[in-house]
A and B are shown apart, each in its own frame.
Chain A
Amino acid sequence: MALLETRGLTAFYGDFQALYGIDTVLEAGETVAIIGANGAGKSTYLKSIAGLIRGPAESVLFAGAPIGASTAAEIMKRGIALVPEGRRLFPSLTAEENLLIGRYGRDAPGPWSLERIYALFPPLKARRNSASMTLSGGEQQMVAIGRALISNPRLLLCDEISLGLAPIVVRALYAALPQIKAAGTSVILVEQDIVQAIKVSDRIYCFQEGRLSLSGRPSELSREQIHLAYFGT
């Protein structure tokens, strides 16, 4: 049984339709990348899985259970953690408190403890008691990822973690992904940086204007195919 499955997933913002029947599959242990232009529906897809956008129960299945209509808090407790777009750390909490709050709803056994997260992202240890808004963009992104990992999720959702960060910082962040994968966490990454996405993922899906335009393994797809799927012309 696949770890995650979406069946005919649709999503609306008021009258505007952002997703038109998305069918995707993720097997346990996989890292899947979602690529596509701005506004293609990638973030919407992640939010729908995470429960920030709700729809018919059967549209999203997690380990066979229908979660499409569940609340974000319920979904988090089942073991899906979202690293939201723009980091969205809590300003009133320090870096370490932001990490700790990640396991408020779910304190599950697993590899990701506070120490292990500091080992994954060494710069954070020195800044653990700083107000979260005083951290650099890269450090904030590390906290955001750590905050999601600390609940030992079975599935980690990453929404544009490279956004607004310098290439050298992005490379450092992506260097962490293999370690996350090695620890057994499945990952869905939404990325605009196609190069990075392809490097770390087992499979990719390409979205275009709310629809799936391509899916497959990076090794099997040509540059032309990806270009066409991404831009549509």
Chain B
Amino acid sequence: MTVWADALIQGILLGGLYALFAAGLSLIFGIMRLVNLAHGDLIILAAFVILTIAAWLGLDPFAATLAALPIMFIVGFALQQLLLNRTLGRELLPPLLVTFGLSIIIENGLLELFSADSRRLHGGSIETASLALSPDVAMGVVPLLTLASAVAVIVALNVVFYRTALGRAFRATSDDLEIAQLMGIDHPRIFSFAMALAFVVLTIAALYLGMHANFDPTAGPERLLYAFEAVIVGGLGSFWGTLCGGIIIGVAQTTGAQLNPEWQILAGHIAFLAVLVLKPRGLFPRATD
């Protein structure tokens, strides 16, 4: 019995990590209907940036991430402004294929710079710290922090979206691009801000990814898939939905792993496909879409 309770708890905590992966993707889908096939690779890129800063400046991962945030913000802004804004329009293929090409470039660029070796972000003693819920069930401090960060990020995103003028502009642009222009909204700039914001979120995700497991330049696509699954399961247009989606995928994975360690990833995918069949719009879709 406690084995399953443990699987559930670990799954929820893992879900926090997946929700972090997904939050950035959800933000970008929501505002500019852009599906960024390079999203997972960008998380890995961020992880390597954190790793490099930590090594150069002799910082722990958390401090290194803080230093990485403004850099990634600027990189995200530039990427959207200079490249991705040019792919947006009515056609389906350009953003898909350009981000796919970007994915290949990032993966192989990282391979050239860092080799295929597995890396890890070392947090020191915090890595093995844990809180005991009961004699048999313990929660790692890092996974708890991950979940807490995911919740914090989602609360922050909701505040931005629903309590600020910028958020109003995001929602208006996503609703009706033409009329948003009439409000004086410069949508290329808005999109660039949104992407910059998404880069900040994915950098935070990268911190916890790096502390949770090993990563290497080819680890991107798998993260993209988990992020995507969390967004679809949760329902497009809702950040809390994305958190739920992440948790569902996480729990599915840990439950599957409990049955057979080789089935972990497959269990997550099957859960996604099941939700897709039963509730195609996800669990908490936005009313208008």
Contact = CB atoms under 8 A, between A and B. Distances in A.
Interface of A: 50-52, 71-73, 76-77, 81-82, 84, 88, 90-93, 97, 100-102, 104-106, 133, 147, 151
A92 B172 contact: yes
Contacts of A82: 182
A15 B169 CA distance: 34
Q: How would you classify the secondary structure of chain B's contact residues: helix, strand, loop or mixed?
A: helix
B174 A84 contact: no
B127 interface: no
B120 interface: no
30 contacts: A50-B182, A51-B181, A52-B181, A52-B182, A71-B181, A72-B178, A72-B182, A73-B182, A73-B186, A76-B181, A84-B182, A90-B171, A90-B172, A90-B175, A92-B171, A92-B174, A92-B175, A92-B286, A93-B168, A93-B172, A97-B168, A100-B168, A102-B183, A104-B168, A104-B185, A105-B183, A105-B184, A105-B185, A105-B186, A151-B184
B169 A101 contact: yes
A93 B185 contact: no
Of listed B168, B182, B185, B187, residue having the most chain A CB within 10 A: B182
A224 B187 CA distance: 47
Given A52-B178, A90-B172, A92-B172, 14 more contacts: A50-B182, A71-B181, A73-B181, A73-B186, A76-B182, A76-B183, A77-B184, A93-B168, A101-B165, A101-B168, A101-B172, A104-B185, A105-B183, A105-B186
Interface in B60-103: none
B262 to A, nearest CB: 43
Interface string B156-172: 00000000010011011
B46 to A, nearest CB: 29
Contacts of B169: 101, 104
Contact of A90 (B179, B184, B187): B179
Nearest to A71: B181
Given A101-B169, A101-B172, A104-B165, A92 B184 contact: no
B183 A84 contact: no
A50 B175 CA distance: 20
B246 to A, nearest CB: 23
Contact of A91 (B178, B185, B186, B288): B288
A102 B168 CA distance: 10
B176 interface: yes
A123 to B, nearest CB: 22
A91 B182 contact: no
Contact of A76 (B176, B184, B187): B184
Most buried by A among B165, B180, B181, B185: B181
